[in-house]
Amino acid sequence: MHQLDTSDASMPFPILIGDIGGTNARFAIIETADAEQVNFPNVRTADFETIDDAIRATILEKSAVKPRSAILAVAGPISDDEIPLTNCDWVVRPRTMIENLGLEDVLVVNDFEAQALAISDLAPEHRERLGNPDAHEDMVASRVVLGPGTGLGVGGLVHARGAWIPVPGEGGHVDLGPRSKRDLEIFPHVETIEGRVSAEQILSGRGIVNLYRAICAADGIAPRYSDPADITSHALAESDPVAVETISLFSTYLGRVAGDMAMIFMARGGVFLSGGISQKILGALRKPEFRAGFEDKAPHTALLSTIPTYVVTHPLAALSGLSSYARRPDTFGVSTDGRRWGR
């Protein structure tokens, strides 16, 4: 068997790992390959002008252990020395970090690559199975992670040549179309992006509001809520019928897109739901709609029924993925071309 050449993948310890989201940034330090990671309190990105200021104030000035390298997961494409973040004003400048923060080596990866790394080795207590408890889990088959949050992130994870290879992409922007009679009533009212209903137009925080408004418009009802959290809380409490239908349909559509991704990757290793919203609507995802949407894939219903689905319940999943990679980079095929900076 050929091994991928990942011989240059290891980074010097202690390693700072960071999951930089639009609203929150979470950091931890791993002192050695065998040491427990030390987590730092959540940093709100709005509280610091730059990521360097945040790292200096919340980590370097608080920790006796000085990181020599950093692995950062960011939302957005990594194509240059200056990496602007989606949904926040921070710009990651690895060269400046190396000059100013005492780092020797900085690697920047995509946030859903980090989520994909996490699902390679998620302990049973950090995931909850949805639906078919007998679906067989193939330990080295491909997997997929989908995360509805501010946007809809999708990452694949493929096992090849003895390593786990994360596959970042823009799967959240695939088309989502009407399927049922009820969908045909609602879809004309869904707000589009340049005329198109992409999955993210519905399967995200603002998407929940978009779907809720579309149902109201289809039924000639005045909308009462504009915050996705209000819609999910009324749905879970069953205190508002439109909110209940919104989250029921959200679950169906999430199941349908998850099933599409499962077919694309032939993800016999499982489809994992991450992102802030999945955990918040876990009660709704346990109902039949999600799994029914997932399996409704003629002519491949039988295939889909054998694929396990999970909600990731790990509170810091992306960090746990980065941690696995930092400790054992040789077991992952993470391309570092154009994404790794050194002194």
Ligand X SMILES: Nc1ncnc2c1ncn2[C@@H]1O[C@H](COP(=O)(O)OP(=O)(O)OP(=O)(O)O)[C@@H](O)[C@H]1O
120 scored as a contact of ligand X (CB under 6 A): no
CB of 4 to ligand X, least distance (A): 30
Backbone angles phi, psi at 209, to 5 degrees: -70, -40
Among 24, 96, 306, 336, binds ligand X (CB under 6 A): 24
Q: Was 53 annotated as part of a binding site?
A: no
Residue in 14, 18, 21, 333 binding ligand X, rule: CB under 6 A: 21
> Nearest-5° angle of CA 311, CA 145, CA 74?
115
Instruction: Choose the stretch contacting ligand X; rule: CB under 6 A; options: 98-106, 119-127, 176-184, 205-213.
Output: 205-213
Identity (one letter) of the amino acid at 16? Answer: L
Tell whether 21 is in a known binding site.
yes
User: x/- binding map, residues 36-75, to ligand X, per CB under 6 A?
Assistant: ----------------------------------------
Q: Identify which of residues 131 and 205 has a Cβ nearer to ligand X in the complex.
A: 205
In the structure encoding, which two tokens stand for residue 238, read together?
């069953």
- Judged by CB under 6 A, the residue of 14, 17, 18, 22 near ligand X is 22
H helix and E strand count, the chain: 12, 15
CA–CA distance, 38 with 268 (Å, rounded to integer):
34
Binding to ligand X (CB under 6 A) within 273-302 occurs at: 275-277, 280
Query: Does residue 321 bind ligand X (CB under 6 A)?
Result: no
**Closest C-alpha to 326, from 318, 338, 314:** 318
Annotated binding residue at 18?
Answer: yes
Residue 313 labelled as part of a binding site:
no
Find out whether 150 is annotated in a ligand binding site.
Answer: no
Smallest separation, CB 127 to ligand X (Å): 17
CB 210 within 8 A of CB 228: no
When the beta carbons of 98 and 152 are compared against ligand X, the nearer one is 152
């790794």: which residue's tokens? 340
Q: Is 270 annotated as a binding residue?
A: no
**Between the CA atoms of 58, 64, 65 and 70, what dihedral angle is there, to the nearest 10 degrees?**
20
CB of 90 to ligand X, least distance (A): 11
Contact predicate 201/225, CB 8 Å: no
76 near ligand X, rule: CB under 6 A: no
Q: How far is the CB of 206 from ligand X (least distance, A)?
A: 6
Contact yes or no for 153/102 (Cβ under 8 A): no
**190's torsion region: left (phi>0), alpha (psi -120 to 50) or beta?**
beta
Task: Report which of 28, 30, 24 is spatially closest to residue 12, judged by C-alpha positions.
Answer: 30
- Contact between 237 and ligand X by CB under 6 A: the answer reads no
Give the range of 19-27, 64-72, 305-313, 329-337 binding ligand X by CB under 6 A.
19-27
Separation CA 254–CA 285 (nearest Å): 9
Question: 34 phi and psi, to 5 degrees?
Answer: -105, -5
Residue 229 contacts ligand X per CB under 6 A: yes
Interaction between residue 155 and ligand X (CB under 6 A): no
Q: Which residues pair with 130 in a beta bridge?
A: 309
Binding residues: 18-23
Binding residues for ATP: 18-23
Site of interaction with ligand X (CB under 6 A): 21-24, 149-150, 205-206, 208, 228-229, 232, 275-277, 280
